[in-house]
Structure 1
Amino acid sequence: MKIKDETLGMWLGVLGVSFFAVTLPMTRLATGTAAAPQLSPLFVTVGRAALAGVLSLVFLLATRSPVPQRHQWKPLGMATLGNCLGFPLLLGYALRVVTASHAAVITALLPLATAAIAAWVLHQRARFGFWVCAIMGSLLVVAFSMLRASQHGNGFGFEWADLLLVGAVIAASLGYVYGAQVTPSLGAERVICWVCVMALPVSLPATLALWPQQPVATSSWAGFVYVGVFSMWVGFFAWYRGLALGGALRVSQTQLLQPFLSILAAVPLLGEPLDLVTLAFAAAVVGTVVIGKKLSQPRAIARPATAGASL
């Protein structure tokens, strides 16, 4: 039974990562491009949060989930700002300018950024090698951005949208770290539900106020529904359940597939070409993530046999 649980956990992890990977092309489908805009990034941000919030409220009521305690509201609030509002808003505006494949390379830094912010927020001292990997991954992203800017005729500089993508990565990382602080006590599925419900007082009226008055393509509405239901809600259920069944250490490795799945999904959904340079940079960034994650924890310090447990 244990082997079956581990196998099921891995498949659920892959399913969750697949849902998250398609977020990039689906967000671009929803917002459109600068030349052919559809739904505004602000509407997509609050709308997807409102849709997930309503679903979360139904789930919490159906399962009779207890209300979080006072000390749990602050980390939940930080997770709401980072994951529910900051990340999708910055991502939406960026994807009006750059392709989903381009964004996949920048956001491939997310696991490494999460580990770095965890070390900072939790006052942990990571190994020197981890910071070397973090710098190398960042330099690869900078090189990719400058290469793409020069190819687009913008000279030796940056795509301004890349700054938005970096901001999105930081916002998501902060949200993940603060959400993880209350996951052991609340339960993983309930954390994402409470995060979405906390946003409802803002997201629901904002969605109604920003409802588009102009005609919107059916494909854009499909992208909007996807990011609200699957990216913001169902994906987390599959992901967290996979971590619980298969073990966080094993299942979390499936995250390494995410940038490649995003690039592949953008081909049929958006008609983006399969660019070997983009794939090569994605592979290089993922390589730094693999090494960096192994070095993200501080080296264990030997203690005398008589020393009692601390922390």
Structure 2
Amino acid sequence: MRAQSSAIAPSRIAVDAPQQRSSSFGVVQAALGVTAFSLTFPATAWGLEGFGPWSLVAVRSVLAALIAGGCLLALRVPLPARAHWPGLAVVGAGVVVGFPLLTTLALQTSTTAHAAVVVGLLPLTTAALSALRMGNRPSRTFWTAALAGAAAVVAFTVQQSGGALTGADLYLFAALLVCAAGYTEGGRLARVMPGWQVIGWALVLCAPLGVIGSALALSYEPVHLTGHSVAGLLWVAAGSQFVGLVVWYRGMAVIGIPKASQLQLAQPLLTLVWSVLLLGEHLTVAAPLTAAAVLVCIAVTQRARG
């Protein structure tokens, strides 16, 4: 019996090793998505220097759709099955249209630090919606760490914004809900089709709306092209709207929606770092303390069993 058990052990190790590598690669991909998303608010602030809010959102969706459509055509990807189109519509409504539009409108009057409150609450909301939509049941340890991380992020970002609520909060909380719905549905679809195709087809699906919106918005909102505005537009279109979502959905498909969503607890802090470097905002001494607390929470959620 001992000889038999010793012979089985190496085979188990051989099976577990690829799974561990796959899981680690999934975490890396999801983390790259979070990094891309963390630049969205500063890039949007740059874009608003030269574009109106409606023009910025519409043009970014058209540019992202052109990139996605070109990739789909070049690789001759067949149309998704009919059963997937409702889910793709949810992804498009939440991630392609809803979240960009609502946060851009909010950033007209809100600082990036205040808007980061939404991002701090997004992981918890995404995990909750995925539990309702897909029957996920994370452990109590997972939920405790998630709530602690969200509380730390909210406390920090509210303190950074002076603790006062603004009229932009309605936009931000609405953006939180629609984005969580888009992430949840996109993560579900990424289990049956490549993640880049999920966001690619969602962008193509929304392209007609983006073209019409661009034509209307550009005719009413003045455009003043600057280096910042062009760079901001290009990033939110290519980086945030396509490349970031590609690696994000691929990561979610590997490690699961709840665990991937908790990596976004680091996103508000990364956004604040970019805000200092790109927008000249100032951080308090609370930043490193909050960063340490969030990293601990992320480590716990990644190790907690679902």
Give, in whole Å, the separation in 2 of the partners of 1:203 and 1:221: 18
Q: Name which of 16, 36, 49 aligns with 1:19.
A: 36
Give, in whole Å, the separation in 2 of the partners of 1:285 and 1:225: 30
Question: Could you tell me how far 1:77 is from its partner in structure 2?
Answer: 0.6
Change (3 A) 1:240 1:77: closer
Partner of 1:30 in structure 2?
Answer: 47
Give, in whole Å, the separation in 1 of the partners of 2:131 and 2:251: 25
The Cα offsets for residues 74-112 of structure 1, whole Å up to 9 and x where unpaired, read as 111111111111111121122222322333343123222
Question: Could you tell me how far 1:232 is from its partner in structure 2?
Answer: 0.6
Change (3 A) 1:169 1:87: same
1:236 aligns with 2:245: yes
Q: Name which of 181, 193, 196 aligns with 1:189.
A: 196
TM-score, structure 2 as length reference: 0.77
1:269 aligns with 2:271: no
Give, in whole Å, the separation in 1 of the partners of 2:29 and 2:146: 28
Question: Could you tell me how far 1:226 is from its partner in structure 2?
Answer: 0.9
Q: Name which of 97, 114, 129 aligns with 1:117.
A: 129
Q: Name which of 165, 171, 174 aligns with 2:181.
A: 174
Question: Could you tell me how far 1:288 is from its partner in structure 2?
Answer: 5.0
Give, in whole Å, the separation in 2 of the partners of 1:291 and 1:13: 17
Asked if 2 retains the 8 angstrom alpha-carbon contact of 1:13 and 1:243, the reply is yes
The Cα offsets for residues 149-188 of structure 1, whole Å up to 9 and x where unpaired, read as 6x3xxxx752333343232222211001111222222221
Change (3 A) 1:144 1:94: farther
1:199 aligns with 2:206: yes
Change (3 A) 1:117 1:180: same
Asked if 1 retains the 8 angstrom alpha-carbon contact of 2:187 and 2:249, the reply is no
TM-score, structure 1 as length reference: 0.76
Partner of 1:215 in structure 2?
Answer: 224
Asked if 2 retains the 8 angstrom alpha-carbon contact of 1:94 and 1:161, the reply is yes
Asked if 2 retains the 8 angstrom alpha-carbon contact of 1:90 and 1:165, the reply is yes
Partner of 2:112 in structure 1?
Answer: 100
Change (3 A) 1:16 1:177: closer
Give, in whole Å, the separation in 2 of the partners of 1:237 and 1:146: 30
Q: Which amino acid aligns with 2:180?
A: S
Change (3 A) 1:47 1:286: farther
Report sequence identity in percent.
Answer: 32
Partner of 1:58 in structure 2?
Answer: 70
Q: What SS class does the counterpart of residue 110 from structure 2 fall into? A: coil
Give, in whole Å, the separation in 2 of the partners of 1:106 and 1:164: 10
Question: Could you tell me how far 1:257 is from its partner in structure 2?
Answer: 4.0
Q: What SS class does the counterpart of residue 192 from structure 2 fall into? A: helix
1:225 aligns with 2:234: yes
Q: Which amino acid aligns with 1:202?
A: L
Asked if 2 retains the 8 angstrom alpha-carbon contact of 1:259 and 1:282, the reply is no
Asked if 2 retains the 8 angstrom alpha-carbon contact of 1:145 and 1:159, the reply is no
Question: Could you tell me how far 1:22 is from its partner in structure 2?
Answer: 0.9
Give, in whole Å, the separation in 2 of the partners of 1:283 and 1:94: 29
Partner of 1:74 in structure 2?
Answer: 86
Matched residue pairs, number?
284
Partner of 1:160 in structure 2?
Answer: 167
Q: Which amino acid aligns with 2:232?
A: G
Question: Could you tell me how far 1:197 is from its partner in structure 2?
Answer: 0.5
Asked if 1 retains the 8 angstrom alpha-carbon contact of 2:145 and 2:301, the reply is yes
Q: What SS class does the counterpart of residue 66 from structure 1 fall into? A: coil
Give, in whole Å, the separation in 1 of the partners of 2:280 and 2:31: 24
Give, in whole Å, the separation in 1 of the partners of 2:172 and 2:294: 15
